[in-house]
Structure 1
Amino acid sequence: MKNIKSQLFRRPLIQILFLLLSFETLAQVPQVPKEMQFADLTIRINEQARREIQLDVDALHRNQIYFKSKADRANLYLPLVERELRESGVPDDFKYLVIQESSLIPDAVSSSNAVGFWQFKQGTAEEVFLRVDNQIDERKNIVSSTRGAALYLKKNNTQFDNWMCALVSYQMGLGGAKAYFGSQFNGKKVVDVDRNSHWYFKKFLAHKIAFENHAGANFVSNTGYLEEVRIQGPSSLQDLSSRLGISEDHLREYNKWIGRGDIPSDKTYSVVYLKQGTPPARPIVAQRESSSTGQQQTQTPTSGFPRISGNQQSATAPNQIKVNNIEGVRAANSVSQASFAKQVGMKPNKFRKLNDLDKNDPVVAGQYYYLDKKATKADVANHVVMPGETLWSISQKYGIRLAALKAKNRIRDDIDLSPGMILNLQEPRKRGEDFVMVSGSEYRKMLEALSANQTQTNQATATSQTSTPASQPSTTVTPSTAPVTRTPEPVRTEPSRTEPARTEPVRTETTAPVRTPEPTRSTETVNRTQPSSTSSSSRTVHTVSPGETLFRISQNYGVSVDDLKRWNNLPDNTIKVGQEIIINPSGTSTQSRATTPSSTSSSGTIVHTVSPGETLFRLSQNYGVSVDDIRKWNNLPDNTIQVGQKITIIKP
């Protein structure tokens, strides 16, 4: 009887305690406001959308133990995410997107086989220069994958000038988002959210509301904090473990992107490990302080390199101009190395060596080339890497030997370059010294200056072409610092494939597929220039370079990955450096091996319809014109083109 009374007495206490806990949990759940800020946008939410978003916020907070665990994990990784977003010029609010995508679980895999922190599929990952193979998967590296996501988002935002549209494009892809939104939000700074607004954006708002008072810059993980070291291999985890004084198992736990235990030598990788205690004020990789002299000498896009002197009227003839005080010449047309070397009275091998060219690199119209040895150091101390630049284009810009540039910076390949990275042009970088990156705000100013300089140069060139007779002295124009790409690597054109996929299955939205118009046949066909050595008249053999993937090779040659695998009897997408890949063994392909213009007018103007895998560089080579000309003829702000886009070509 006594036990029964005791149980009856305890039951109400348990119910009261449960109610108190429920009220406490309810009090912790943030409420969806009528208006809020996201990036540089004001978001106005109507009542129906508020109720819908609130359901998601409530669901995220329902299990407080799970929610706090997720917030704590977020606070471990977000300092790194915030830094990469800041330096890439992407709004800080996008840090909540990585929580939405993967809950910051490094090896998360979705039902559609999207992987890692930012849930990239393999093709999309390779488009933003992440390495994905059986040795390394940078989708699981918080620094690399965040940098890739920032690049993807920033590139897409140039099409919308609206971060809400850019965010939705992360789920739909650029083509899908453009079809979904049209131009209705382009440039707008106020967005109204209602029942018809895209579900992905509403889900993002729910994550921002749920986590903004629990995760981010003002919060510290109870676990500790992540320390980052930047390593360029080859280096084993065992060696790194001894050097850092932490266990190999610990390194594996926090660096699941390393598949075989070794860090390769193809680029610099960020390795993270957990440290106990409170993080320092600047917890992530101390950056080298720049002296005032160094700041003054760091190259900005408007500094006027290469410097051209001499008789610029006759710049296309030898012995007329100097490029950075070295004998040089400007290419009048896009021709082969052998033809150009003959024009300037030089053997092809010598011309190739003076300009650090590979055997099959084309001579590009408008580009300056050297007729004497380049220097081992430049006239300025540093250069800030801009989008699209390569080690070769930088070496040509300053007249510094490519080998010297690589040696001074302890860098081996273009894949190691990141926009905003400061390269040494005079003094060598010390062994083990971290690369210095310019701040996000300073980098944005440089991009604006570069854009303004290119516009001014194009206007001056157009004025010169229309108003200056050929027999009269031409207007002197400072050469644009926009780099000429050395090899026909694809510009980051949006593929027809889907976007980085999400981790969780969601409501399906049907988007009408974008159809690529079939190009009309024309009497004139321009053969595609192949970016590798030809072993016979019927096939091409490509030797794999560090950082290359089957996807990138397929884009370079305008063929599919499946074709490459079939031609080479490859069981999967794995390839090795130095491996020879056969391209088009029978002389034909599932894709056309020639570019056919859509239509040709009697005046010599061609309208070309962009096909999958094509880039501005490839079109310029096919038609024998320069990339700058194509951009000028079509009023293109950058080198980005889309499948199905009509491109006007004026035949020379």
Structure 2
Amino acid sequence: MIVRKISLIVGVLCSMSMFAQQSASSEVEVKPEVKLSYLDSVKSTFKKNDVAAKADSLWMKELTSLDIYDDLSKDIQTINSDVTVDQELPTELLKQRLQAMNEKSPFNIEYNQGLENLIKSFLKNRKKSFSRLMALSEYYFPIFEESFAKNNVPLEIKYLAVVESALNPKAVSKMGATGLWQFMYGTGKQYALKIDSYVDERSDPMKSTAAASDYFTKMFEVFNDWELVLASYNSGPGNVTKAIRRSGGQTKYWDIRSNLPKETQGYVPAFYATMYLFEYHKEHGINPERAVVKNFETDTLNIKKEMTFKQIADLLDMPQSQIQLLNPSYKLNVVPFYQGEQHCLRLPKDKIATFVSNEKQIYAYVDYMSTVRTIPAKLALKVAPKVKLQPQKTNSDFQFYEVQKGDNLGAIAEKYDVNLADLKKWNNLKSNNVALGRTLKIKSDVDTSKISKDVKAIPAIEKKSEEAIATADDKEKVATPQEYVVAAGDNLGSIAKKFGTTIAELKELNGLTSNNIGLGKTLVISKEVPAIEETANVNTAIASNVSIESFKKGAASKKISEDYYVKKGDSLYSISKKYPGVTISDIKKWNGIKDGDIKPGMKLKING
């Protein structure tokens, strides 16, 4: 009996052991194999460098925000310095502080009621803005001070960049002045700042500061007075000399101020008010926000191949906004590579260490990514006639995107995951400039792996169809509007003469209400060809696997009847592009419009 019990127990234990082994083996077998992407496989070989922590991405977004620039610009232009502001700051105390600032400055800082009102207005309405500006200043002021010290420029002029751009290297004024020091295009070229489709050195903190320093030095040799140098920086030396003449030969800013342009009359007081708030921020309870990036914590390296900010961000595990902050002169979020020229990339020092330690793998990844191109939609048409396409699985239609303020072609291409060269080709763009409000065509990728190979023949499609397709392509090229980018010295009359058209037609095509055109603006020159030929629809007929005849019947049965409300930046041309087959003449006829003038909020009837 005892033997039988022992045998039973041993049998149970053996069976439990075998079950446990089976369970363990089954768990190992079920575990799926994780496949790494090419990017992950490259990064897995990186030598890690933990020199510093990653920057706070929310703070990075704050640094690249334009709202402070907009607010301060509006204040400086609209504040009436003659209106008293109710803010706790005794006049006698303010006079004492201004006198203390004057004693250690080459500027002639004097108390006056207008300056007091401006300081009190900033204290009342912009304390939070100055708190953020002081955080930014920890990055930019060392750059300014180093350059000014080399050229014997007063270090206090660093506060002028706050007035000019609110320390935002991407700031652009209504007149087109760009960067921390707000250089106009011509002045930037005059001071050897590189400006092309990829690079705008007016936004480069170091190079633009060197140019500004050069300007201040030369203007001081002319006027021998730093306040007049500031006035000339805002309105030009010509306006300053006119004010001197109109003031009977007076050479002090406060003596000629009333004869200067209105904006310049508030410019130097705004500079002094900014200097005061930076010098006495503690006394007014302004606490600088935390600055997580400082200039001495960054370094540069030379790039050996063209790279996008996205590639750099993916490889180095850092937000693109941080790369944009540190490299604001690259307009398209791309670091280009020109033969015989150096292009630097500025990064935090720990990211520089990672990059330099793994250059071989990084450039191998860049080479790989350069071979990944958008598959042209016409690839689907080069199949043998007996290959049937599944239209519901193929997306070869265009999407439409209206260019917004702050957009550039690089960012749009990245947003839709398409190649920049393809985006320019689809929209017949000769350069990387794109006008605000323009509607861009964006074609999605064709997934060739989803093309089903069915042996059923497509009816009525023979060699003639291929010829028709070629003809349709030619017609598409003819129908694409011709465009022209406005160059220096251009006007509507000279452009109309150059292209054999009229000023009235140019204004109508581009929705212009006056003859003024901005430098760099893209103008539509030729009219769109509205006719839709039968052959132009062959592509769609093939892709949807229907006969040409049935396709034409289906297209003819589709009618558009809807209202469109005009948005800011719209023109009759851009609206017509939203509705295939609709022309500018159609919209004008349906809505009784005699000229090209349309206004935001206006309702247009679209009948197609």
TM range (shorter): 0.3 to 0.5
- Bigger Rg over Cα: 2
Query: In proportion to residue count, which structure has more strand?
Result: 1
Structure scoring higher RCO (CA < 8 A, sep ≥ 6) equals 1
